[in-house]
Structures are given as structure tokens and as C-alpha cells.
Chains A and B, each alone.
Chain A
Amino acid sequence: MATEHIDLNVKVVEMRDIVKKFGDFVANDGINLTVHKGEIHAILGENGAGKSTLMNQLYGMFPPTSGQILVHGKPVVLDNPQKAIREGIGMVHQHFMLVPPFTVTENIVLGMEPVKGIKLDMAKARQDVKEISERYGLSIDPDAKIEDISVGMQQRVEIRKALYRGAETLILDEPTASLTPQEITELIHIMHSLTADGKSIILITHKLKEIKASADYCTIIRLGKYIDTVKVADVTENDLASLMVGRKVTFSVEKPPMKAGDLVLDVKDLHGVDYRGVEILKGLSIQVHKGEILGIAGIDGNGQTEMVEIITGLRKATGGQVLVNGTDVVNKPPRFGFEHGVSSIPADRQRHGLVLDFSVAENMILQNYGQEPFSKKGILDQKAIGQYTQDAMEKYDIRPRDAVRKPARTLSGGNQQKVIIAREVNNDKDLLIAVNPTRGLDVGAIEYVHKYIIEQRNKGKAVLLVSFELDEIMSLSDRIDVIFDGKISGSMTGDQANEETLGMMMAGGKVQ
């Protein structure tokens, strides 16, 4: 740990007794935070605990309802980002704030563009960008367009954007969400070189391992309330987890041994293109049997999304076969695959999984609305639909129970996901595909989703799990295939898996 850089006499940021209400909902309830010069300070909490809300106030996205913010000991009012920037606060958002068709340089200078007269001075902008890059070893082509560079590179652009604005304190919101283990190591290295230069970093995360690896101090928030600030060196990961969740947590998932049965999904030499028409699947083959969970590990953008879209019929393949119980479903409409045994929990539940403006009941029959008992001779039977939904809500513990006729939009994220799971599991198909099934859910909901996935496997279903969370892949999968550059670059059984080997393979390295 780089504690030697910390100057405890300089408090760069202090937040005192911050309360933030949205209507009657209290997102932050009396939170305190002190960050010193040269320090990496982690903010730990579950999804929805109020971490991002807290940081958005520090970055001036919205003002606190009450409480005080001090920068270098001086009280400040930060009611827009420009003021925060002026106070030396920079933020790298979890969802990058980059304009995809713009170049790296344009994105970095946007909002603080150098001008010569009335004309943009792009030459100076490029020069400034280059200087910052060299200083912190963040090399990147200043004229590349954002939409053409990798997620890791985009993150570097975001960091440089903050530095260009003269940030002294850098807020990183879940910075490792879509990075490989190797990229994470590099990021931690960059963070340390920044603190060595006297910058301070606030790291928002729910990943304990990264806190242990990088942070000096950690402030824990639970349900909007301040819990504690600890010196990271003095605590274990389990201590942090208990503080975060408020009870003892077990990380292991109960999973009885299973013998894999007949082949259900057989993907052979699959080729496909992405939305730009660039080939992204380059001869991918996987197999999933009854009673097993195959985990697909890989970094976003290596073809896993397109693979799932092809299997579920949302995208055309340019070559290869997808056999489900022996029937080729490639280049057939989604309904064909569904009828031949494919069900799926899509990655984006609000885009693909649910019609948010439909009621929960209407969402429950998304594939079956035209069949008995839900409709007879083209007329919907609302009573049957309502009863079916009520039963499912009891069985899968979807809340609130009286939401049968309410829009799915009104449910929480976890309950929305339960609706999808209820629907897909009720469909009772041989193959269940789950893509990032726990993204954005809190710990309770994650446990629930994991339980159902394992239950499907135990019932003898074939499960294909695609996830960017390595922990999830490792704890659930019977076998793991690593996807890299549109192909499977390596395989192992679930119990052999370890993070280093997987990480290496995910980055395209070969394992001897």
C-alpha cells in the first residue's frame, strides 16, 4: 500500500452529515467522508446503498438536501459540475460520459475547449492531451474515435478528461466493472502513480478484493446510512463484507454433484457479424448437456452478446450451426427456437426482457399470449392470465403481490428480474440461457437468482451462463469456456478454475 504518499494534514475533501432526499425517499442519511491528499479512499456498499448518489453530490450533479461539503477546509456549494471541476474534483462515471462519434481529443477538451479567436484550436488541444498522456503513461491515439477503441482505453480517456480539467481529487465509479483482471492490475498501477503525484482518489465499488489491493481507507455505507470508516490494512475481506451487508455472508453456493446427460445445445463453427457488419464470431463451438451449467467467461465485446443473439434468433449468423436437441435454429425467428427448447434470461432486462409499460401479467405471457389458456380464438382471457400471474408471483416471491395489473416499470430491479425468471422457468424448456443475470442486483436478489439457476440444472436442464462477473462464473459453472476474439480460447472444469488462468485466457494469452 502506498500510504507513504498520504498527507494527513491536508483534507482535500470533507463531506459532513450529508442527507439527500428524493421526495420521501432518503438516499443518503447523514454520511461523513474525509479524504486526505494522496489517499485512495474506497466507498463500499451494496447496489442501491447510496454510493453513487453521494458522489454525484460531490461532483455537483445535484445538491445535498442538508449537510456540508468542504474542499481544502473551505465550505463550498457544488450545484453544478462546473463548480466541482473548478474545485479540482473530477469524476469517471460507471457508464462512460463519452460521445461515441467524437475523437479522443474532442472528448477530452469538450466543455473546456481551447480557442483562437472564435475558432477552435484543435492543434493546441491535441498538444495538451499529449502532454497529460506522457506524464501519466496513458498512451493512446488522440485522433481515434471513441466508438473504435476498447472499453479499457475509453476509461483512460475518462481519466485524462478529469486530469485535463486539473482534477486534484478523482472519483472513480465502479471502474473495474468491465475490465479484465490484467486491465484491473494496470488500472491500480495508474491509480498509484496518480497518488504518488499528490492526487487523491475516491473509489466506489462493491468488490472487496480491489479494495484490499488498492485502497488506504474504506468508508462503508448501508441503506443510505454511514456505517464506519476503516483502515484497509487492519481488516479482512470478510470483515468488510459483514460491514457492507450487515450480517455474516457466505460466498459459496450449495451445488450437489451432477452427472451431465444428453447433449442439448450444440453450437458448431459459428460465424457472425456485429452491428457494424464487422466479423465478430470466428468459428465458435460450444456444447451444453442436460444437468450442467456451462459458464462463458470473457470480456465484453468478444462475441458473447452476438452468440446469444444468434442462438435466441435475434441475429442472423453468417455461417455455422446451432443445434438444439438436434434441430438447427440458426437464422430462424425467435419463436422457432423457443418452440424447439430455448428459453433465456436476457442481458438487458429492460430492453429485451420486459415490456415495461405492460402489466406484470401481460409480461408473464410474452411468448404464450396467443395460446390457450391465455387466449381463445384470438380473444385474451384476462381471468386466466391474472390467475397464472398471481400463482407465479407467490411461487417466485415477486413483490408487491398486488402488482398483477400494474406496469412492470413500477417494480424494483430485483423483482423485474424475478418476473423474467418466473416466466422463463415456467416455460419449462430444455435450454436456459442466462446473460449477466445478476447485474445491478443487491446481494439478496443475487443469492435468489443463483439458487434458481442451480435448481434448473438440478432438474436436468441445460444451462448456458454468460457473465462478466468472474466470481459468478466460477461459483456456478460445472464447466467453463473462455471466449476471446469470437472463438473459444480455452476450457476447464469449474473446480479447476482460478482467476489468474481465466484472466490470462480472457486476455488472449495461451496457458501451457
Chain B
Amino acid sequence: MSKLEKILQSAFFRTIISILIGFAVGAIFLLIVNISPAEAYAKLFSSIFSNPKSLSYCVVYATPLIILGLSVAFSFRTGVFNIGAEGQFVVGSMAACVVGILVPAPPIVLPILCIAAAAAAGALWGIIVGFLKVKWGINEVLSMIMFNWIAFYLSNYIADLPIIKNEGNAEATKNVQEAAMILLPKSWIDSLGLCNSASWGILIAAILAVVVYIIIEKTSLGYSLKAVGFNRDAAEYGGINANRSVLIALAISGAMGGIAGATNLLGIGQRIAIFTAQESYGFQGIIAALIGASNPLGVFVGGLFYGAIKYGGSRLNIIGAPSEVVNVIMGTVIFLIAISHIFNFRLRKKKKGGDK
């Protein structure tokens, strides 16, 4: 196979094609709603690249998406589909928020406690679903969606409890203690001209990407989880406890979902609002995972890309363009990635084995 051909057939190339078509479809929609795509896309990209501040905003937006993407990618690699990242994110945020408000602890210790609580809550959310799957054979996709909503209302319920709730008029919790925040030092932010929400979150995301890579590719734990994901029957036959593997995979996946919630809260959120609709972080994580082809490095890049587009999209309102066009673009992108095997670019006729 020639080098060019290899590139043309790579998942990376297909993803690029999908993204380009996604933007084209977005452009068509903008035309339909009478907005110049050129102007809108110019605004989108200029908002992203204009200065260090906006770039750092993109990173801040990207951080939870990367971690959620890793959570989903980990689940894909181990044969479950963590569509429940949304719920894990929500319970993780809430756990971190409760600890961050109520637990008296010094800086450095407190964020660690918050993140640990979030990981535990997310893992629990994953394990519940895993338990329903292994014990009663309930499709995890369906129960995760239910638990996303249960998490949503649970979070709203907790946020409304007097001990947590904001004393003012805001329909939200109190702010977490300053000591709980994971923001970069003020002096750094000022000297580099970053946004005020720039935090250590992206470092946490990078560390998690490495951890996921090592577990999946290098360890015997990863081996057993993948074996169950690929072929549960053969794994069981080989002596691997498949039910245990499913629970472990969902616990790890869920813990990352929870951590994503914590980093978002401790970085930019600081408090949790009482929501009227889901924020769809989990679904955005699925997109990051799909763009990154479930490969940790790919997910990191995919998450950054999505974060940037999301930030840029949020600035579209300035020129009167609907920011939801980003959803149209991203929906198109995953739809195309799902069928991307049809973009099978070949330079010449290739050998194909008989299927009989």
C-alpha cells in the first residue's frame, strides 16, 4: 500500500472528511435561515483564534468534553456504550459541589477530596447500571438514559436543599469554597493574558488520557476487559469473569464521567444551578469519543476541537446567528463518522478476499 493510499484510508482522514461535510451541511442550514455562512464561520473561527484569552476559553470548554470523551471511549473499547456519561457528570458535579461547600479542608486537599467524591459518585452511577445489566440483563443504553434523568432531578433536588442552596435569589447552590477551586495562579493568568477560568483541569484530562491508554493497551486488566467486550462467550470460556469485567469497565468509565463534572465545577462553574433541561455534556462526550476514534490521543484532540467549536459557536449570537448550528454540524459529523466506511478511497483496484 502506498503512503498516500494509507492516509486516504485512515480513520483520521475519514474524520476530516466528515468534519468538512458537517460544516458544509451547517452552511446550507445557515443559508436556509438567511445568514451568510461565510460571515458566521468567520466569526466562529475568529472568536477562537483572536487572542490567548479566547484560546484559553476553548481549552476550558474542551476540558470536560475530553474527560467525558475518554470515559465514553473507554466504554467503547470494553464493549459497553456509556451513554450515561451525562448522569455521571451530573452526580459527579453535585458530589464535588457538596464536598466543596460543606467540608472544611485546606487548599490542595479540598480539591482532591472533591474530585475523589465525584469519581466515587460517577463510579456508583456506572455500577448501578452495570448491576442492572449483569443481574437482570437490562440493556445498559436504556437504563443509562433513565439514570441520566434520575441524576438530573436528583441534582435539582439536592441543589434545592436549604443547607446547600444559595441564600440569594439565584436558583442555584452556594459557591464552593475558594480553597476547592483548581484555577491557575492569578499571576500566571494575568501575565499570559488567559481567561479567568483557566484551570488545572486540562492537566487532569491529559493525565487521564495517559491512564486510559495504559489500562487499555498495556495491562492484563485491559486485556480482560477488551476480551469481554469483543466476545463475552470466549472470555468466559477462557476463565474471565465477564460480569465482573462489565462492572469494572462501567465503574472506571463512570468515575471519569464524575471527574469531568468535578473539574468543570471546580474550574469554571463554582456552583450548580437548578436546571430546566439537561446540558447534554454526556452526549457531547460521545461526539468527542467518536471524533477521536476511541483512541486516547485522538479523543484529546477531538475534545479540543469540539471545545473550540463550542466556544466559537457561543459567540455566534453576536451576529444574530443561532449557536445551535454547532449542534447541527456536530450531529452531521457523527452521523457521517458512523457511515464513514463508505468513504473508501482507493487509488487502484485492490485485492479482496472471497466472502464465501
Contacts and interface: CB of A to CB of B under 8 A. Distances in A.
Please tell me whether chains A and B touch each other in their complex, using a CB distance cut-off of 8 A. yes
A495 interface: no
Contacts of B238: 334, 366-367
Given A333-B239, A334-B239, A380 B223 contact: yes
Contacts of A379: 218-220
B231 A22 contact: no
B168 interface: no
Contacts of A369: 220, 223-224
B355 A22 contact: yes
Give the interface size class of chain A.
20 to 34
B135 interface: no
B171 to A, nearest CB: 47
A346 B221 contact: no
Contacts of B356: 22, 27, 52-53
Interface in B202-250: 218-221, 223-224, 226-227, 230-231, 233-241
Contacts of B230: 355-358
Contacts of A358: 226-227, 230
A351 B231 CA distance: 7
B234 A380 contact: no
B353 interface: yes
A46 interface: no
Contact of A354 (B223, B226, B234, B241): B234
A335 B241 CA distance: 9
B239 A380 contact: no
A388 interface: no
Given A22-B354, A378-B221, A346 B231 contact: no
A276 to B, nearest CB: 15
A352 interface: yes
A375 interface: yes
A175 B356 CA distance: 19
A356 B227 CA distance: 10
Nearest to B226: A358
A334 B237 contact: yes
B352 interface: yes
A251 interface: no
A351 B238 CA distance: 12
Given A358-B230, A375-B220, A380-B218, A24 B237 contact: no
Interface residues of B, number: 25
Contacts of B186: none
A24 B231 contact: no
B220 A352 contact: no
A220 B355 CA distance: 22
Contacts of A366: 227, 234-235, 237-239
B351 interface: yes
Most chain-B CB neighbours within 10 Å: which of A25, A312, A353, A366? Answer: A366
B31 to A, nearest CB: 43
Contact of B223 (A314, A333, A334, A362): A362
Contact of B237 (A23, A346, A375): A346
Nearest to A50: B356
A358 B233 CA distance: 14
A25 B355 CA distance: 9
A102 interface: no
A23 B351 contact: yes
B219 A352 contact: no
B227 A355 contact: yes
B239 A335 contact: yes
B221 A357 contact: no
Contacts of B220: 369-370, 374-375, 378-380
B341 to A, nearest CB: 16
A237 B181 CA distance: 85
A25 B354 contact: yes
B352 A23 contact: yes
Interface of A: 21-25, 27, 52-53, 312, 314, 333-335, 338, 346, 351-358, 362, 366-367, 369-370, 374-375, 378-380
8 contacts: A53-B356, A312-B237, A334-B239, A338-B239, A354-B234, A378-B221, A380-B219, A380-B220
